[in-house]
Amino acid sequence: MSKQYETVIGLEVHVELATKTKIFCGCSTAFGAAPNTQTCPVCTGMPGSLPVLNKQVLEYAIAVGLATNCEITRYAKFDRKNYFYPDNPQNYQISQLYLPICRNGSVEIETEEGGAKKVGIHEIHMEEDAGKLIHDEWEDCSLVDYNRSGVPLIEIVSEPDMRSAGEVIAYLEKLRLLIQYLGASDCKLQEGSMRADVNLSVREAGAAQFGTRTEMKNLNSFKAISRAIAGETERQIDLIESGQKVVQETRRWDDAKGESYAMRSKEDAQDYRYFPDPDLVPVAVSDEMLERIRASQPEFRNEKRRRYKEEFGIPDYDIEIITQSKHMADLFEAATAICGQPKKVSNWLMGETLRLMKEKETDAQDLRFSPEHLAKLIALVDAKVINGQVAKEVFEIMFEEDVDPERYVEEKGLKTVNDEGALRKTIAEVIAANPQSVEDYRNGKEKAIGFLVGQTMKAMKGKADPAEVNRILLTQL
Amino acid sequence: MRIAITDRTAVELSAAIRAGQTTAVEAAEAMLARIEEQDKLYNCYVTVDGEGALSQARAVQERIEAGELTGPLAGVPVAIKDNLCTEGMLTTCSSKMLGNFVPTYTAEAVANLRRAGAVVLGKTNMDEFAMGSTTETSAYGVTRNPWNPDHVPGGSSGGSAAAVAAGECYFALGSDTGGSIRQPAAYCGTVGMKPTYGTVSRYGLVAYGSSLDQIGPLTKDVTDCAAVLETIASYDKKDSTSIQRQDTDFTSALVEDVQGLRIGIPGDYLGEGLDTQVKAAVLQAAEDLARRGALVERFDLSLVEYAIPAYYTIAAAEASSNLERFDGIKYGYRTKEYAGLHPMYKKSRSEGFGEEVKRRIMLGSFVLSSGYYDAYYLKALRVKALIKKAFDEAFAKYDVILGPVAPTTAPKLGASLTDPIRMYLGDIYTIAVNLAGLPGISLPCGVDESGLPIGLQLIGDCFQEKKLIRAAYTYEKIRGPFGKATAAEGRTTKAEGRTTEAESRTTEAVSRTAAGGWTETGQRVLQEAGQEQEGHRHE
Amino acid sequence: MANIISDETIEYVGILAKLELSDKERERAKSDMGRMLDYIDKLGELDTTGVEPMSHVFPVQNVFREDVVTNGDLREQMLANAPEEKDGMFVVPRTFE
């Protein structure tokens, strides 16, 4: 490759909103129900049914628009996007083309080089999700489940401002965090509540015009996105170098094979015949509504960073990790509010929590233990009711099942034994049973004391305060 | 002298039931017997639910006797156009596509009737998916005009109009997208009304042109029309285009008084293509109203010739999208053999839809397609705005616009379908009303030489149904009883030659009438409706 | 006829509308659509400069529902209308390659 090329990337990000009901009907959006049990005439496209807009969808969309510095369209409309596919029960999708709810926004990302860069947001529009198609292996047919049909989505369309996979990931992380902080979505790529389509073109470095772009779909993880960007960049450069043309088309990324293929079909004319949906009336965003949503915007990450430093004095590193997830930040703040010990709460999050998250492949937003229980655990240790080691064991159970540590310690009999008589008796037994170690210690092998402490703890089934054991041992020897 | 039960109007029947002179069950039985006897010939119904009607009638009768149902439709048998969904009852839209479709929900208008104690007899024939003006595009055979079975009943609500005219129900519901209630009402000598857009919920109405569709009554007289409209009009949260109105006590407008009512006759509605007998009857009706003190004059409505192309562009575009859901997957017809998804779609739809439906879907898909949207669809929406403006200007001068419903009386079966443009031209007097969202009523004003009824159309400004009802009620009183029997006695129109008198007598008076008041009232009603909805949101 | 509708146009519109016309229907459709479009072209006579396209006749806006679950499970009644169903789902021809 003799020439230098630049990759130009824009993203279309679909985010499923965390509403209780669908965008145009009163069906539940809860995940995991039996097929077609959360459907009604509206979201299955029955004739005569009519859509009515869920107000919460509008409010979330505006909130995301405000958080991404968009202009909010004060008079917005819904349009029909017409295309036939079995997961689309009306064979048109209600979306917004002509007057989307938000336009001309931007977010700032950190580049790999450590600088800041603005990524423009062309528009954000509201639309309905499609149902799910399941392939029937046995009978060579597909099956349709409309539970997801009508789940509210916003589509965030960026400007073609990104130049590398790193910038794309940074942009997605930024959006995810903003939206999670807003509580507008959990933004899980793997579960499809956040989905990104990549529009990509290449051009010779320094060229003024963009090249022909392709759109890539089916990207379910940050890794897949990175690989797809590398793969598509290479494919387009190869085409150009060999004198061929890039065709504007939609391609499906196969992450297992590491390649994409065109989704072309004669039957997909890609002529969506958009027109204003006559069944829905326009949305006029009043000053009052806008101000109400603006006023209820949460504290975002940058503000939290500043406040945590001033208010709690915890290390920058801890702040970075904790504020990376709204859920973790909420946990931290709530537990701290109860126990008044930010450093200890932070230690639990930075230590055991991160360790278990890694071990059990858990996302921060899926942490199950409550701040009340974490605060109780800290109090139990402080009061020397349990020792640090027992606390870690209890925490692991809390991490899995959010048990009440007080009750759990009680039920399992994990309290530290503070009966000095019993402790002395056990220590005497340990000393008697390990003459060699006693001898070693007396001969100056300081380490031998550790073994004896360990033996004592073992005999006490861990329910002793190791410092207390150490102290008594020293007096006995 | 006792009037035969079958000859009563809906309001008379319910009064007789309440008075204990007859029962809801007797009325239902009488209708079912009529249907049994006549409907092989007329084919008004696609589905008759005899058992359901009788059991409903028994339940309603008990509630009437218990004093729970006291309204003017309690116990009255009704026929429902087959594009209104009825839970548990076949709803076909007279299409092969929905030959086996049983909805799990009931259209709000029908639910309102049931709540009022009306007894649903069954579902009436129509042009397939309401696309047509003759009821000949039905997949379930043509409906014949009870006045002369060689003629069409009109359409698309032809089954409903014919069922009322043939006495196979006391009243019926229809839907009107471009004249589909008013025109068959005219052809069958019944009263039909298309209310202001948004007055009757469209929930459960299988959509044709969503921005134009309205459900309305087909009845024996104006009194029934007002009573039915009062019952079916409702603000429905399930229909975003539903309008909250405070003034739906339509029966209060059943007043015999047109003194000072300003009536305008668009010259454009009396021009080329209008049958001379129809013209004479309509002008005679105008004169009759003028005699009672109405101020009648001709005016130039303008833009009339553009209404049809604008209408067919908008209706076809919306229809092409609305009918996409019929794909052979969730309900309805699926072809027997197919090789893959898209062939399944194409074969199912091509076999399931009739010719006229396919024609409009093709046209609608084309006008929305890439490169044509602006030139056709947006252009049509702009023309729609101009047409609305022309009506606004007219209603600044007149309370009611008067004209014919259709250029002719009911044509013979098979005479209309050969040339679509000619068929569409037949809608010239009705479709502008839908484009502008206005209310319009059609009522008989005579018969032609061959004994077929002629319809008179009165058009009001938005939310001014009461003015229409008052004018129509007054005219009905002037005209006297109307029906096949009366017509047979020779009460044909002899209006020709007398029209100029009516025209000249009235112009002067108009200028004396205060021009303000009512338009503002109409807008105020709308504003209030808007505020109500606004207020509701912030609860 | 000013608007001549080609076989390709009919084919294309057929793909959009998912309709497959017989040869006879196709010829009829070409002629009908051409005539309809000629007729619609009449709208071009009107100067609509500066006129806003009117989709809704009335200025009704902001009709919302609250985010509250109101629907139950209607699966069985709904599936009763399906041409083909399996395991509580609608059966369609295979959609994946």
Q: Among partner residues A48, A80, A82, which is closest to B103 by beta-carbon distance?
A: A48
Three-state DSSP class for residue B372: coil
Over 50: is that where the pLDDT of A266 sits? yes
Over 90: is that where the pLDDT of B538 sits? no
pLDDT band at A472 (very low <50, low <70, confident <90, very high): confident
Count the domains in chain A: 3
Position B487 scores a pLDDT of: 66
With CA atoms as reference, report the closest residue to B35 among B155, B170, B137, B149: B170
Contacts of A388 (CB under 8 A, 6+ apart): A381
Q: pLDDT per residue over A33-80, tens digit each? A: 999 999 999 999 999 999 999 999 999 999 999 999 999 999 999 999
CB contact under 8 Å between C36 and B312, yes or no, is yes
Across the range A441-457, mean pLDDT stands at 85
ipTM of the complex: 0.97
Q: pLDDT per residue over B156-167, tens digit each? A: 999 999 999 999
As a residue count, chain B comes to 539
As a residue count, chain C comes to 97
All residues of chain B having their beta carbon less than 8 Å from the beta carbon of residue C17 are: 320, 349, 361-362, 364-365
Beta bridge partners of A194: A15
Q: What are the residue ranges spanned by the domains of chain C?
A: 7-45
Q: Among partner residues A20, A133, A283, which is closest to C69 by beta-carbon distance?
A: A20
With CA atoms as reference, report the closest residue to B36 among B160, B134, B122: B122
| B151-155, B257-261, B524-528, range with the lowest pLDDT | B524-528
Q: Are residues A131 and A181 both part of a single domain?
A: yes
Three-state DSSP class for residue A422: helix
Q: Are residues A199 and A72 both part of a single domain?
A: yes
> Torsion-angle region of residue A27: left (phi > 0), alpha (psi -120 to 50) or beta?
beta
Beta bridge partners of C65: A54
The C-alpha atoms of residue B494 and residue B491 are separated, in whole angstroms, by 9
pLDDT band at C96 (very low <50, low <70, confident <90, very high): low
Position B443 scores a pLDDT of: 98
The C-alpha atoms of residue A179 and residue A62 are separated, in whole angstroms, by 11
Q: Which amino acid is at B397?
A: K
Return the DSSP state at B205.
B
All residues of chain B having their beta carbon less than 8 Å from the beta carbon of residue C41 are: 309
* Inter-CA distances, B413 with A67, B95, B150, B181, B416, Å: 65, 19, 6, 19, 8
Three-state DSSP class for residue B370: coil
Position B488 scores a pLDDT of: 58
Question: Does the annotation count B81 as an active-site position?
Answer: yes
pLDDT band at B502 (very low <50, low <70, confident <90, very high): very low
Across the range B529-533, mean pLDDT stands at 41
Q: Which of A281, A285, A287, A292 to mutate to test the interface with C (most CBs of C within 10 A)?
A: A281
Across the range A95-102, mean pLDDT stands at 98
CB contact under 8 Å between A47 and B98, yes or no, is yes
Across the range A191-200, mean pLDDT stands at 94
**Residue A83's closest chain C neighbor by CA?**
C16
CATH of residue A442: 1.10.10.410
Q: pLDDT per residue over B439-467, tens digit each? A: 999 999 999 999 999 999 999 999 999 99
Q: Are residues A281 and A313 both part of a single domain?
A: no
Q: Which helix (H) or strand (E) holds A103?
A: strand A102-110
Instruction: Scan for tokens 């997830």, then name that residue.
Output: A325
Q: Which helix (H) or strand (E) holds A118?
A: strand A116-128
Beta bridge partners of A134: A143
Q: Does B327 touch chain C (CB under 8 A)?
A: yes
Across the range B471-476, mean pLDDT stands at 98
Position C97 scores a pLDDT of: 54
pLDDT band at B501 (very low <50, low <70, confident <90, very high): very low
Instruction: Scan for tokens 């443009």, then name that residue.
Output: B421
CB contact under 8 Å between A50 and B330, yes or no, is no
Across the range B86-108, mean pLDDT stands at 97
With CA atoms as reference, report the closest residue to B198 among B234, B151, B224: B234
Over 60: is that where the pLDDT of B354 sits? yes
Q: Which residue has the higher pLDDT, A33 or B489?
A: A33
**The last residue of a domain, from among A289, A322, A340:** A289
Q: Which two tokens stand for residue A89?
A: 């029960």
What mean pLDDT, rounded, does chain C reach?
92
Q: Are residues A400 and A430 both part of a single domain?
A: no
Three-state DSSP class for residue B68: coil
Position B519 scores a pLDDT of: 33
Q: pLDDT per residue over B359-401, tens digit each? A: 999 999 999 999 999 999 999 999 999 999 999 999 999 999 9
CA distance B474 to chain C (A): 30
- Residue burial A279-313, b: 16+ Cβ < 10 Å; e: rest: bbbbbebeeebeeebeeeebeebeebbeebeeebe
**The last residue of a domain, from among A412, A429, A446:** A412
Across the range B62-84, mean pLDDT stands at 97
The C-alpha atoms of residue A332 and residue A352 are separated, in whole angstroms, by 14
Statement: C7-45 belongs to CATH 1.10.20: yes
Over 80: is that where the pLDDT of B492 sits? no
Q: Are residues A49 and A163 both part of a single domain?
A: yes
Percent of chain B with pLDDT over 70: 89
Position A468 scores a pLDDT of: 83
**Residue A272's closest chain C neighbor by CA?**
C16
Contacts of A211 (CB under 8 A, 6+ apart): A8, A201, A202, A203, A236, A240, A246
Residues 398-437 (B) with a CB less than 8 A from some CB of C: 420-421, 424, 436-437
Contacts of B464 (CB under 8 A, 6+ apart): B196, B395, B399, B439, B518, B522
Q: How many CB pairs under 8 A join B and C?
A: 174
Q: Are residues A312 and A169 both part of a single domain?
A: no
Angle CA B191–B193–B197, to nearest 5: 175
Q: Which residue has the higher pLDDT, B80 or B485?
A: B80
Q: Are residues A381 and A441 both part of a single domain?
A: no
Among residues B180, B234, B242, B320, the one annotated as catalytic is B180
Over 90: is that where the pLDDT of B523 sits? no
With CA atoms as reference, report the closest residue to B237 among C54, A146, A276, A281: A281
**Residue C33's closest chain B neighbor by CA?**
B363
All residues of chain B having their beta carbon less than 8 Å from the beta carbon of residue C44 are: 379
Q: Is residue A454 part of a domain?
A: yes
Position A176 scores a pLDDT of: 94
Q: pLDDT per residue over A331-386, tens digit each? A: 999 999 999 999 999 999 999 999 999 999 998 888 999 999 999 999 999 988 89
Q: pLDDT per residue over A206-226, tens digit each? A: 899 999 999 999 898 999 999
Q: Are residues A223 and A104 both part of a single domain?
A: yes
Question: Does the annotation count B180 as an active-site position?
Answer: yes
Q: Are residues A407 and A448 both part of a single domain?
A: no
What mean pLDDT, rounded, does chain B reach?
91
Question: Does the annotation count B369 as an active-site position?
Answer: no
Q: Which two tokens stand for residue B527?
A: 């504003």
**Residue C47's closest chain B neighbor by CA?**
B383
For A288, list phi and psi in degrees, rounded to 5.
-60, -45
Over 70: is that where the pLDDT of B512 sits? no
CB contact under 8 Å between C74 and A266, yes or no, is no
Q: pLDDT per residue over A149-185, tens digit each? A: 999 999 999 999 999 999 999 999 999 999 999 999 9
Q: Are residues A224 and A283 both part of a single domain?
A: yes
Angle between helices A405-412 and A388-401 (to 10 degrees): 120
Q: Among partner residues A19, A134, A144, which is closest to C67 by beta-carbon distance?
A: A19
For C56, list phi and psi in degrees, rounded to 5.
-105, 135
Position B397 scores a pLDDT of: 97
Over 90: is that where the pLDDT of A460 sits? no
Q: Is residue A46 part of a domain?
A: yes
Position B490 scores a pLDDT of: 47
CB contact under 8 Å between A37 and C71, yes or no, is no
Q: Does B102 touch chain C (CB under 8 A)?
A: yes
- In the CATH scheme, what is the code of domain B5-307+380-537? 3.90.1300.10
Measured from the Cβ of residue B319, the count of other Cβ atoms closer than 10 Å reads 26
* Inter-CA distances, B510 with B268, B287, B404, B413, Å: 20, 15, 22, 43
Q: Does C93 touch chain A (CB under 8 A)?
A: yes
Q: Does B257 touch chain C (CB under 8 A)?
A: no
Q: Among partner residues C40, C83, C84, which is closest to B309 by beta-carbon distance?
A: C40
Q: Is residue A78 part of a domain?
A: yes
Q: Among partner residues A89, A275, A279, which is closest to B368 by beta-carbon distance?
A: A275
**The last residue of a domain, from among A289, A322, A354:** A289
CB contact under 8 Å between C65 and A53, yes or no, is yes
Position B489 scores a pLDDT of: 56
β-pair type (A92-95, A283-284):
unpaired
CA distance B473 to chain C (A): 28
Residues 311-370 (B) with a CB less than 8 A from some CB of A: 317-318, 320-321, 324-327, 329-331, 341-342, 345, 365, 368-370
Measured from the Cβ of residue B70, the count of other Cβ atoms closer than 10 Å reads 12
Domain boundaries, position A446: 420-476
Q: Are residues A124 and A10 both part of a single domain?
A: yes
Position A76 scores a pLDDT of: 97
- Residue burial B380-394, b: 16+ Cβ < 10 Å; e: rest: bbbbbbbbbebbeeb
The C-alpha atoms of residue B284 and residue B274 are separated, in whole angstroms, by 15
Q: What are the residue ranges spanned by the domains of chain B?
A: 5-307+380-537, 308-379
All residues of chain B having their beta carbon less than 8 Å from the beta carbon of residue A265 are: 342
Instruction: Scan for tokens 């031998």, then name that residue.
Output: A448
Q: Does B536 touch chain A (CB under 8 A)?
A: no
With CA atoms as reference, report the closest residue to C86 among B345, A35, A38, A32: A35
In this complex, the chains that touch A, judged by 3 or more CB pairs closer than 8 A, are B, C
* Inter-CA distances, B258 with B281, B291, B429, B474, Å: 19, 9, 23, 7
What mean pLDDT, rounded, does chain A reach?
93
Task: Kindly write down the DSSP assignment for every residue of A168-217, as one continuous string.
Answer: HHHHHHHHHHHHHHHTS----TTTTSEEEEEEEEEEETT-SS----EEEE
Over 60: is that where the pLDDT of B532 sits? no
Q: Is residue A310 part of a domain?
A: yes
The C-alpha atoms of residue B393 and residue A11 are separated, in whole angstroms, by 50
Among residues B94, B138, B156, B175, the one annotated as catalytic is B156
Q: Which helix (H) or strand (E) holds B459?
A: strand B453-460
Whether B212 contacts B434, CB under 8 Å: yes
Q: Is residue A294 part of a domain?
A: no
Q: Is residue A184 part of a domain?
A: yes
pLDDT band at B124 (very low <50, low <70, confident <90, very high): very high
Across the range B93-118, mean pLDDT stands at 98
- Alpha-helical (H) ranges within B206-340 are 222-232, 276-291, 304-322
CB contact under 8 Å between C43 and B421, yes or no, is no
Percent of chain B with pLDDT over 90: 86
Position B486 scores a pLDDT of: 67
Q: Are residues A259 and A313 both part of a single domain?
A: no
CB contact under 8 Å between C89 and A143, yes or no, is yes
Q: Does A275 touch chain B (CB under 8 A)?
A: yes
Q: Among partner residues B211, B341, B379, which is closest to C48 by beta-carbon distance?
A: B379
The C-alpha atoms of residue B426 and residue B307 are separated, in whole angstroms, by 12
CB contact under 8 Å between B346 and C21, yes or no, is no
